[in-house]
Amino acid sequence: MSFAPADRRRIGISLAALLDALLSGPAYADTPLIDPPSATTLAVNKAAGANAPFTDRRDLDFAARGWLGSRKDPLIRAADGHVVWNLDAYRFTDGPAPATVNPALWRHAQLLARHGLFQVTDCIWQVRGFDIANITFVKGDKGWIVIDTLSTIETARAAYDLVTEKLGKRPIAAIIYTHSHIDHFGGAAGLAGDLLPGAPVIAPQGFVEAAISENVIAGPAMSRRATYQFGMGLEPGPTGTMGSGIGLGSGKGSQGLIPPNRIIETTGTELVLDGVRVRFQMTPGTEAPAEMNLGFPDWKVADLAENANVTQHNILTPRGAVIRNAKAWAEGLSEPDLFSWYGR
Ligand SMILES: [Zn+2]
């Protein structure tokens, strides 16, 4: 990790403290590097608290709906024992917002801090809060259709183990990658041992090229810039990181892709996966260079990948991802008839 001069000035960091922080790893929040909030920060946060409709608790209700429980051990570890993900890292958000944090950001972190297995519909479950993204399990005739596989082998495995504990052991009959961001495919190898032989592994057109472009060719530069975008190195806390917007942060685990063996190229394509009818909608150049939405016509359920979530859409990312086409993105969300049951 390196700091630009402007960053050193802004957080009042000395060279000695910087060296100490670098050598001691990510425990920055424990070091006295952070100035107390300014009068302006205090005033802005106070005004935000006064103006936001915090008595409206529908988001909290939505985030709790269908919860079936979570993992008993909050620490997800790698084989060598190091902690990949701490489910309790944001428990500090249980109380009211402190003066250092915008109350709306505090509420957002409270929503993201809910973790565990959630039932979405009769046949669809999600494990949330085990990674920056969610992993979805769709019940087929023989096994699970898994939609997106988290960032790391360890968190994907922990999610699958939780599903097995709560819902019983089932093999994986298919994997669908909605798009080419690593938090949606990096953990796939953690599921390989339970993937049925010959099972379809499905991705949108351009997936492999986009994944390699972002994570291998541009990987070193982009991962360096991502340390700024995601506040890597900051500890979770009221004077540290409050999450990454779409999720709470990145796990410190290992990655392994299972290459797709079935590429979706055309909007309207339908497949029957393990007895379940799935319809696809191509949305290239939107939230990712290669992305697709999908739906389950027989259940009137749509999965809008990462094209729709409750955060501000990111058109030009600080980490340097390919610029996103806002018009195509909007059109992808409003394409008529494809998921007409969805009420658009
Ligand atoms: Zn994404």
Mean pLDDT to the nearest integer, 293-316: 90
- Residues 318 and 229: their CA atoms lie apart, in Å, by 6
Ligand 1 midpoint to CA 10 (Å):
30
Distance 38 CA to ligand 1 centre (A): 34
- Tens of pLDDT along 217-276? 887 888 888 888 888 888 899 989 999 888 998 889 999 999 999 999 999 999 999 999
DSSP letter for 92, please: G
Q: Which helix (H) or strand (E) holds 10?
A: helix 5-10
* CA 224 – ligand 1 centroid, Å: 18
Do residues 126 and 137 touch, judged by C-beta distance below 8 A? yes
d(CA 295, CA 178): 11
Query: 189 CA to middle of ligand 1, Å?
Result: 19
Q: Which of 42-46, 77-81, 210-214 has the lowest mean pLDDT?
A: 210-214
Distance CA 252, CA 155 (A): 10
Domains, in order of start, for the chain: 36-257 (3.60.15.30)
What is the pTM assigned to this prediction?
A: 0.86
pLDDT grade, residue 32 (50/70/90)?
low
pLDDT at 22: 35
Per-residue pLDDT, averaged over 122-150, amounts to 97
What's the gap in Å between 287 CA and the centre of ligand 1? 6
Burial class (CB in 10 A: 0-12, 13-18, 19+), 100: middle
- Go through the chain and tell me how many residues it has: 344
Question: Cα(182) to centroid of ligand 1, in Å?
Answer: 8
What is the per-residue DSSP string for 275-306? TEEEEEEE-TTSSSSSBEEEEETTTTEEE-TT
Find the 234 Cα to ligand 1 centroid distance in Å. 22
Q: Which residues pair with 172 in a beta bridge?
A: 144, 195
Asked if pLDDT for residue 60 goes beyond 90, the answer is yes
CA of 94 to the centre of ligand 1 (A): 28
Contact call for residues 323 and 313 (beta carbons, < 8 A): no
Q: What is the mean pLDDT of residues 277-285?
A: 94
> Mean per-residue pLDDT for 333-337?
74
pLDDT confidence of residue 23: 35
Calculate how far, in angstroms, residue 223's C-alpha sits from the geometric centre of ligand 1. 15
C-alpha 181 – ligand 1 centre gap (Å)? 5
Average model confidence (pLDDT) for the chain? 87
Distance 178 CA to ligand 1 centre (A): 9
The pLDDT of 115-126, averaged and rounded, is 98
